[in-house]
Amino acid sequence: MITVVEAGRRALQSEMRKNPAIWVLGEDIRHGGVFGQYKGLVEEFGPERIVDTPIAEATMVGAAVGAALVGTRPVIETRFSDFALSAMDELINQAAKNRYMFGGQGRVPIVVRMPSGLRKNSNSAAQHSQSLEAWFVHIPGLVVTAPATPADAKGLLLAALRGDDPVVHMESKELWETTGEIGEDDDAVPLGVGRVARTGSDVTVVSWSSTVHEALRAAELLQGAGISAEVIDLRTLWPWDKDLVLESAGRTRRLVIAHESVRDGGFGAEIAATAAEELHETLTDPVRRVATPRIPLGYSVPLENEYRITAPRIAAAAASLVGEASGPETFASAQPVALVHRETQQ
């Protein structure tokens, strides 16, 4: 059993051993990275391949575009997805469009690692906690990955490193310490293929990244109420496994999408619209989205709790589709396993 952060570290290390063209740039990489993603790497690969940069995200990504065009495979560590916003021209106007604009002459095989989302006990507030995957799935040219488990943290990073597309690799900060089995192989997880995390028959819950774990806890709660929920972990957001989702929702005839990031204009909207287009005669109920309200993340605990997508909230949404009139409080007695919701003194 190893952690998500260690799974990614080992995947990067093994791939860097095999492919001398892979190198990493970002802040404090030689120190091991903020979350330990790069521990031991500068000792093994040297300072030419593990490069500490100035605080200049735009130039990290811009330089990586150039380095990729000439044949290397840079990995950019953006430290927090919120900081990657300084590199939007470089990611969207340069990396995503270079191959097309120049008529197919070049390839931009960069991996942009974005630590994203809430982190337990971190209370990092509005500028250190965003999940902006909706921005990047919207951009032609980009691939977007979002592992929820150590096995996928390894497998999707390997896929990203081996492909020729620019990949935005969204890594939930909540999940760094989550453990799981990863296997001895160095197999990539195929891009665009989701995973059924739990089979069920009454309702389909689609999710990704940290919310997958809440969805699985929600499925436990629902089972207690006699509802069988199927949980899908998309793993890749672009391209996303449409066939998997449509087969499942076509069978259960009820669809809930749960994600941590703003509901309005979130990627759940794309999935919901697709389901409405393809399954409008099959679904028995409207598609429900469980996602963050359109608020920035506040600092204090009660404010952050408004933002969290919890198992009771997901369970309540699923139950409402099955016809049970219930709110999250119906399921609130369950204690989440890994998350710590600190109670405030009223």
User: Per CB under 8 A, does 94 bind another protein?
Assistant: yes
* Amino acid letter, residue 34: V
User: Per CB under 8 A, does 337 bind another protein?
Assistant: no
Among 40, 66, 265, 286, which residue sits at the site for another protein (rule: CB under 8 A)?
66
* Amino acid letter, residue 226: G
Choose the stretch contacting another protein; rule: CB under 8 A; options: 36-44, 148-156, 235-243, 278-286. 235-243
User: Per CB under 8 A, does 93 bind another protein?
Assistant: yes
CA–CA separation, 261 vs 132, rounded Å? 7
Q: Is 275 helix (H, G, I), strand (E, B) or coil?
A: helix
User: Per CB under 8 A, does 65 bind another protein?
Assistant: yes
Specify the DSSP class assigned to residue 200: -
Quote the crossing angle between the two packed helices 311-322 and 210-224, to the nearest 10°. 50
Residue 79: CB minimum distance to another protein, A: 16
Choose the stretch contacting another protein; rule: CB under 8 A; options: 101-109, 253-261, 295-303, 334-342. 101-109
Size of the site for another protein (CB under 8 A): 47
Identity of the residue, 191 or 317, whose beta carbon is nearer to another protein in the bound complex: 191
N residues, the chain: 346
Residue 108: CB minimum distance to another protein, A: 10
Q: Which residues pair with residue 233 across a beta bridge?
A: 195, 207
CB 77 within 8 A of CB 37: yes
User: Per CB under 8 A, does 56 bind another protein?
Assistant: yes
User: Per CB under 8 A, does 216 bind another protein?
Assistant: no
User: Per CB under 8 A, does 184 bind another protein?
Assistant: no
Q: Residue 148 class from Cβ within 10 Å (0-12 exposed, 13-18 middle, 19+ buried)?
A: buried
Identity of the residue, 51 or 231, whose beta carbon is nearer to another protein in the bound complex: 51
CB 124 within 8 A of CB 130: no
Among 28, 44, 164, 264, which residue sits at the site for another protein (rule: CB under 8 A)?
164
Identity of the residue, 194 or 200, whose beta carbon is nearer to another protein in the bound complex: 194
Choose the stretch contacting another protein; rule: CB under 8 A; options: 65-73, 127-135, 227-235, 248-256. 65-73
The residue assigned the tokens 């890994």 is: 338
CA–CA separation, 182 vs 154, rounded Å? 7
Residues near 147 by beta carbon (within 8 Å), at least 6 away in sequence: 4, 153, 155, 156, 157, 171, 175, 209, 235
* Amino acid letter, residue 20: P
User: Per CB under 8 A, does 53 bind another protein?
Assistant: yes
Among 17, 18, 31, 71, which residue sits at the site for another protein (rule: CB under 8 A)?
71
User: Is 138 a known active-site residue?
Assistant: no
Identity of the residue, 273 or 338, whose beta carbon is nearer to another protein in the bound complex: 273
User: Per CB under 8 A, does 62 bind another protein?
Assistant: yes
Q: Which of residues 127-146 bind another protein (CB under 8 A)?
A: 140-143
Q: Residue 63 class from Cβ within 10 Å (0-12 exposed, 13-18 middle, 19+ buried)?
A: middle
Q: Which has the closest alpha carbon to 217: 117, 341, 50?
A: 341
Interface positions with another protein (CB under 8 A): 21, 23, 48-49, 51, 53-54, 56, 58-59, 62-72, 74, 89-90, 93-94, 98-106, 140-143, 163-165, 191-192, 236, 238-239
Give catalytic residues, as residue numbers: 128
